[in-house]
Structure 1
Amino acid sequence: MRETGKPIAQVARELGINDGTLGNWVAKDRAARGETGAGEQLGESERAELARLRRENAELATGA
């Protein structure tokens, strides 16, 4: 993701994994690198909602 600049959902589809899972991995990697960006880290409920929205977005993008 860092090297290609592709969206999480696209990379997750290419790898055959859940985009929420990849999103969590990317977030942990960014945090470990000190690249958390502006603002606070997401809380548990916010991460769950983000994962749900990413799944819905991926389903809409693929027409599923």
Structure 2
Amino acid sequence: MFHAGTANPRKKMMAVEMKSELMQQVQEGEIEEEDVPKESTIANWINSFSRGWKHAMALQAIEAAESNLNV
């Protein structure tokens, strides 16, 4: 679910949508309800993932720019 928005920004999911998807998996017997985190926890995961992704992409851009300068 976290990578859906990475591949296609139009498919980004909000915490409430992820919680709903997880609850659907509970209904289908794929996971247990006690394994579904609170919406606030999911939101924190999304924010942490986003910060990490932006940081990684910034480092990659810097490395590419430095590489182009050295060519």
Q: TM-score, normalised by structure 2?
A: 0.48
1:47 to 30, 34, 39: 39
**1:31 is the counterpart of 2:23:** no
The structure in which a higher percent of residues are helix is 2
The share of aligned pairs that are identical, in percent, is 9
**1:56 is the counterpart of 2:51:** no
Alpha-carbon RMSD: 2.8
* Cα distance in 1 between the residues matched to 2:16 and 2:34: 20
Could you list the runs of 5+ residues in structure 2 that have no partner in the other structure? 59-71
Amino acid at match of 1:9: F
Contact 2:5 2:12 in 1 (8 A): yes
Larger RCO (CA under 8 A, 6+ residues apart): 1
* Cα distance in 2 between the residues matched to 1:56 and 1:41: 20
Change (3 A) 1:18 1:24: same
Contact 2:22 2:36 in 1 (8 A): no
